[in-house]
Structure 1
Amino acid sequence: MKQFEVPVFYRSSLISTIKKLRKEKDKLKKDFSPTLLNFGPVQIYLARHFGFCYGVENAIEIAFKTVEENPGKRIFLLSEMIHNPQVNADLSRHGVQFLQDTYGKELIPFDDLTSDDIVLIPAFGTTLAIEKKLNDIGIPTEKYNTTCPFVEKVWNRSAAIAKKDYTIIIHGKPSHEETRATFSHAAAGAPSVVVKDMKETQRLALYITGELDAARFYEEFKNQYSEGFDVTKDFARIGVVNQTTMLASDTQAIADYLKQVMVEKYNLSKENLAERFADTRDTLCYATNDNQTSVSSMLQTDADLAIVVGGYNSSNTSHLVELCEEKLPTYYINSPDKIISQKEIIHFNFHTSQELLTADYLPQQEPVKILITSGASCPDILVEQVIEKITGFYPNALPMEAVAQQLV
């Protein structure tokens, strides 16, 4: 796989050593067990896969190269490059300005742009309407497009099934940049609908079967279906794709559920299933899958708590938190600074979108056993700093260099 030039200040010598050793011992990525870092009074179970993925490293390389190669030019990001506050802050410090927030609200009017400006498309991609708007101004989008190849894979899959007259069901968060972009590309070729979870999918199924009045669909799924959508005709053939950072198990469950709905409605067999339901099992990002599988494996340990590091508006990170919460007290932080002391931690409740202050989060016994992972847009250096901060609370903890040496 291609190696990217990512700024050194995002790298961690400890994490790089661990990842290199694991890769050498597990070239085929079949071992998802965590790495045990034994500091003595505190033991860290580090996920097998975490941190920057291919698409994120690609986006960061393009962004910083663009800044370096275009001194004096105005450089804009369409929205956040990735969902990580440190990376976006670094780009701002390098003079990059943001045109929109993560919900698509304009921060700088597009009318202020000229053909001499550079606009970077973020890793999530963007809508066809925005691409056209930029092109009409005279701003080329292809050269500075950092859209993740795995997001583009979903678009290509959608286009392929659209040509076969399938309606596209997108499992994703309707307000997320990636889902908005995927919906735009899907809707250009076929009727399309977004469902955010199984509950919405089950409601959608009632329109597929005709159990609910078609007229109600347009209100219930307002802003989640393509223009001209016809409930009476457009559910005759369907396929499911996804926002690449959703929980793999959720997407699979939604696809399986809708497949069964179609089987029962049209009395389908394996032989004629494709007449009504498209096979789209290949649209989940490999990194999302690996990171989620790594967390599931990590949860088989005897850990006391979990710490997940990543941006608070990061979809893939929130799903790692969701998995950890099923088994353990879990603390979602976007910076090592949120670890106030051995007694207190500030962490994010993504269900309520609130930061909380929790006391006595570390158990009193030794060794304390902690699971640590991070989202696909989180720099490794933040994970190292989290480990360093926690182990610093224990005077008898082994130094990081000694623990790293144990792994060699």
Structure 2
Amino acid sequence: MKTFNVPIIYRSPLITAIKNRRKQQDRMKKDFTPTVLDFGPLKILLARHFGFCYGVENAIEIAFKTVEANPGKRIFLLSEMIHNPHVNNDLLEKGVQFIMDTAGTQLVPWESLTPEDIVIIPAFGTTLEIEEKLSSLGIAPLQYNTTCPFVERVWNKAEQIGKQSYSVIVHGKPGHEETRATFSHSRSNTPTVVVKDIKEAQLLATFITGEKNPEEFYILFKGQYSPGFDVINDLQRVGVVNQTTMLATETQAIADYIKNVIMDRYSLDASNVSERFADTRDTLCYATNDNQSAVTGLLEESADLAIVVGGYNSSNTSHLVELCEVKLPTYFISSEEKLVNAEEVHHWDFHHKQELHSRAFLPEKEQVTIMLTSGASCPDAMVEAVIRRLLSFYKLEDKMEEVAATFE
């Protein structure tokens, strides 16, 4: 796989050495057991896969190269390039401006842009409508495009099945930049509806079976269906794609559920179900799959707590938290600074969208074991910083180089 020139401030010699060692030992990526960092009183179980993915590194390289190559020019990002505050703040410090926030609220008026300005499309991609808007302003919309190739793969799959007269069901968060982009691209080819979870998929199924009055669809799914969507006709042939960072098990459960509903509704079996249900296979990206599988492997071990590092608005990171918190106390932090001291931690409750302040999060025992992972937009340097911060609570900072040397 291609390697990228990512700023050294995001790299970690320790994490790089660990990842290289694991890659040599497990080239087929079949071993999801964690890496054990044993510091004596503190033991850290590091997930097999975590951190920057292909799409994120690609976006960072393009964005920073664009800034360096265009001194004196006004440079804009449509919105946050990735969901990591540290990377986005680094770009802001270099003079890059955001045109919109993550919810799509305008921060810079379109009319203030000129053909001489540079506009970078973030890793999530963007809508066809925004591409057209940029073109109308004399700005080539795809000249500085950091859209993740795995996101584009979903668009291609939606277009492919759309041309075969299937409607598209998108499993994603309706307000997320990537889902808004996927919805835009899909609806340009075929009727499209977004479901955010298995509950909404089950609700949608009641319109497939005819259990609910069709008119209720337009109320219950307001803002989540394409213009002109005909609930009676457009749910007779469907396929499921997803926002690439969703929980893999839920996406599969939604696809299986809709498929079974279609089979029952039209008396189909495995031999002819393709008449009404498209085989889209998995449209999750490799990093989402790897990171979630790594957390599943991590959770087979015993530990006292889990720490997940990443941006609070990062979808893929929140799903790692979701997996961990089923088994043990889990703390979702954006940086090592959230680990105030050995007694206190500030951490994010993504269910209720609020930061919590917890005490006594580290148990008092002879050896504390912590599971550690991070989202796909979190720099490895941040993970190392978290490890060093934890070590400082036990006055074990001098052990870092000793343990790191075992991976060289």
TM-score tier after normalising by the smaller chain length:
over 0.9
1:4-15 matches, within 5 Å, as 4-15=4-15
1:233 matched to which residue of 2?
A: 233
Question: Does the aligned pair in 1 maintain the 2:171–2:241 contact within 8 Å?
Answer: yes
> Post-superposition shift, 1:209?
0.6
Aligned to 2:83: 83
Q: Secondary structure at the match of 1:351?
A: coil
User: What is the Cα deviation at residue 269 of structure 1?
Assistant: 1.2
AA of the residue aligned to 2:3? Q
Q: CA separation in 2, counterparts of 1:251 and 1:72? A: 45
Structure-2 change in CA distance of 1:296 and 1:143 (3 Å): same
Residue 400 of structure 1, CA deviation: 0.9
The one-letter code matched in structure 2 to 1:83 is: H
Shifted more, 327-336 versus 24-33: the winner is: 24-33
Q: Write out aligned runs for 1:282-321 (5 A).
A: 282-321=282-321
Runs of 4 or more, structure 1, over 6 Å off, are none
Distance change (3 Å), C-alpha of 1:398 and 1:367? farther
The offset of 1:406, in angstroms, is 2.5
Provide, for residues 218-276 of structure 1, a one-character-per-residue CA deviation record: whole Å limited to 9, x for no partner: 01100000000001100110000000000000000000000000000000011111000
1:94-243 → structure 2 map (5 Å cutoff): 94-243=94-243
- In 2, the alpha carbon distance for the partners of 1:71 and 1:396 equals 44
**Separation (CA, whole Å) in 2 of partners of 1:405 and 1:385:** 17
Distance 1:201 1:29 in 2: 32
Counterpart in the other structure of 2:33: 33
Scaled by the length of structure 1, the TM-score of the pair is 0.99
CA-CA distance at 1:366 after TM superposition:
2.0
Q: Give the Cα–Cα distance (whole angstroms) in 2 for the partners of residues 245 and 37 of structure 1.
A: 28
SS in 1 for 2:317: helix
Show CA shifts across 1:310-360 (max 9, x none). 000000000000000000100000011000000000000000001011000
Q: Distance in 2 between matches of 1:152 and 1:41?
A: 46
Deviations 1:14-44 (A, max 9, x none): 1011011111111111111100000111000
Q: Secondary structure at the match of 1:406?
A: helix
Q: After alignment, is 276-285 or 326-335 more displaced?
A: 276-285
* Other structure's SS at 1:392 match: helix
| Corresponding residue of 2:379 | 379
Alignment of 1:363-374 (within 5 A): 363-374=363-374
Distance in structure 1 (CA, Å) of the matches to 2:8 and 2:397: 27
Asked if the contact 1:287/1:376 (under 8 Å) is kept, the reply is: yes
Q: Which residue of 1 aligns with 2:52?
A: 52
Q: Any conservation in 2 of the 1:40–1:367 contact (CA below 8 Å)?
A: yes
CA distance in 2 between counterparts of 1:190 and 1:40 reads 58
One-letter code aligned to 1:391: L
Which residue is 1:71 aligned to? 71
Gaps (5+ residues) in structure 2?
A: none
What stretches of structure 1 of length at least 5 have no aligned partner? Answer: none
Residues 375-395 of structure 1: CA deviation (Å, up to 9, x unaligned): 000001010000000011112
Q: Classify 1:357/1:92 alpha carbon distance in 2 versus 1 (closer, same or farther; 3 Å).
A: same
Contact 2:388 2:397 in 1 (8 A): no
CA contact (8 A) 1:39 1:398 kept: no
Distance 2:392 2:116 in 1: 50
- Kindly provide the amino acid, as one letter, of the partner of residue 161 in structure 2: I
User: Aligned residue pairs: how many?
Assistant: 408
TM-score (norm 2): 0.99
Confirm whether residue 400 of structure 1 aligns to residue 400 of structure 2: yes
